[in-house]
Amino acid sequence: MSTPKSILKVVLPLLLGVVLVWYSLSQISVSKLIQYFKDADYFWIILGVSLGILSHVCRAYRWLFMAEPLGYRPKFANSFMAVYSAYLINLTIPRAGEVARASILTTYEDVPFDKGFGTIVAERVADTLMLLLIIGIALVLEFEFIYSFFMEKFNPATLLIGGAILLLLVLGLYFFIRRSSSKFALKVKSFVKGLIEGALSIFKMKKKWAFIFYTVFIWVLYLSMFYVTTLALPELGNISLAGVLIGFILASFSIAATNGGIGSFPEAIVIAFTLFNIPEDPSRAFGWIMWSSQTLVIIVLGGLSLIYLPIYNRKKTSV
């Protein structure tokens, strides 16, 4: 039975996505957006889509390294189709894709649901650590730009006071969570514990170096996919490394904000790119071009995966 809380978890991201789509399209005429789509260089868009598909191929193959220590040798095809099915389902219900992916592996590869879901959580831990690493690299490589930006936008005294307040809040929250037995504190403790255990489990893996290599390679592909797609629009031809990194980071967070980043993805790009004096129209158009091209592939390959999974495994399902 659905509870109000579970209903809100589904409805709110969808509602936010609809509002952001309306807002985004109110900031640029549909005819102008269509013109950007027509004038785009589709060589770079197709290359970006291809890199995206390759990243998901690597993700599916990487999961095989996690299944082996559990005593299972799943077929790569099932892993690949489970990945795309999960992405498609995430477009409808936030985070339901991970549950569906574990269920698919249980149905067609006899991997117990709890074990399969555990490996997927460990994957998410590795991906979170990679995103944090990219944020760290952006801060180091573009420290001067970030520092100058905040110095221009905010008074140094305000930043100092704000930083001190933030530090006190973080320390206060840390000691509160450490000593508290409230529901919120227990959830945070459980999340942090799971994050640490998931990260450590990677190093206990038999093929840990292969797993780490594929994890890094997947995120290199993500960054490359983002960068090459910017080349589709001449207005973004001179975008800096800082612009690419900041744009990629904000776009990554936007995907968690709404279902698959609908509405939030283009606006996250606008926020990032306008920091580098790139006009809003090409920034917003790029956001829509990249989001729609990647989402179209997920819909097509995810839909085909859901259809073909029982056909590919018909011998197993007929037993």
DSSP assignment of 59-76 equals HHHHHHHHHGGGT----H
Mean of the per-residue pLDDT values of the chain = 83
Read off the tokens for 50: 């291809």
pLDDT confidence of 1, banded at 50, 70, 90?
very low
- The span from the CA of 244 to the CA of 310, in Å, is 40
Helices (H), ranges, 180-279? 183-203, 208-230, 241-257, 264-274
Rounded to an integer, the average pLDDT of 303-313 is 91
For residue 94, which amino acid is it? Answer: P
Question: Which carries the bigger pLDDT value, residue 240 or residue 88?
Answer: 88
Q: How many CB atoms lie within 10 A of CB 261?
A: 26
Task: Quote the pLDDT of residue 9.
Answer: 62
Q: How many helices (H) and strands (E) does the chain have?
A: 14, 0
The predicted model gives 211-223 an average pLDDT of 93
- Alpha-carbon distance of 104 to 86, in angstroms, equals 9
**Residue 216 near residue 242, CB atoms below 8 Å:** no
Q: Are 309 and 103 in contact (CB under 8 A)?
A: no
Quote the CA–CA distance of 96 and 6 in Å, as a whole number: 12
Average pLDDT over residues 247-271: 88
Q: Which of 33, 18, 24, 9 is nearest to 268 (CA)?
A: 24
For residue 311, give the nearest of 20, 78, 61 by alpha carbon: 78
- Asked if residue 256 lies in contact with residue 17, where contact means CB atoms within 8 angstroms, the answer is no
Calpha distance 269→246 (Å, rounded): 9
What's the pLDDT at 166? Answer: 75
Residue 248: the pLDDT is 92
Write the burial class of residue 83 (CB in 10 Å: 0-12 exposed, 13-18 middle, 19+ buried).
Answer: buried
Kindly report the number of other CB atoms within 10 A of residue 128's CB atom: 13
Among the listed ranges 105-109, 161-165, 247-251, which one has the minimum average pLDDT value? 161-165
Task: Decide: 312 and 79 in contact? Cβ < 8 Å.
Answer: no
pLDDT at 124 over 80: yes
- Distance, in Å, from the CA atom of 77 to the CA atom of 64, rounded to the nearest integer, reads 11
Nearest to 236 by CA among 276, 184, 196: 276
